[in-house]
């Protein structure tokens, strides 16, 4: 399955193309921090609780 198809399905399912709203609906935590010259990165956490 390609990324465009996946995104299209998510937009149709949740009724929004706002990436921050989609992240919220999918339980994805978006963290803002100064990165200097880096445009971005992602990280996976295992064996952690969702108690924020």
What are the sequence ranges of the domains in the chain?
1-52
pTM, two decimals, is: 0.65
Report the 10 Å Cβ neighbour count for 19: 12
pLDDT in tens, 16-49: 999 999 999 999 888 888 888 988 887 777 765 6
Q: What pLDDT, on the 0 to 100 scale, is given for residue 48?
A: 59
**Residue entry with tokens 């998510």:** 10
Contacts of 28 (CB under 8 A, 6+ apart): 22
**Dist CA 30 CA 42 (whole Å):** 9
What spatial distance separates the first Cα and last Cα of the chain, rounded to whole Å? 33
């Amino acid at each position: 399955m390609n990324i465009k198809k996946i995104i299209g399905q998510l937009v149709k399912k949740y009724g929004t193309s706002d990436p921050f709203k989609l992240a919220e609906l999918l339980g994805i935590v978006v963290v803002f921090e100064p990165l200097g010259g880096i445009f971005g990165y992602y990280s996976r956490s295992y064996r952690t609780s969702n108690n924020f």
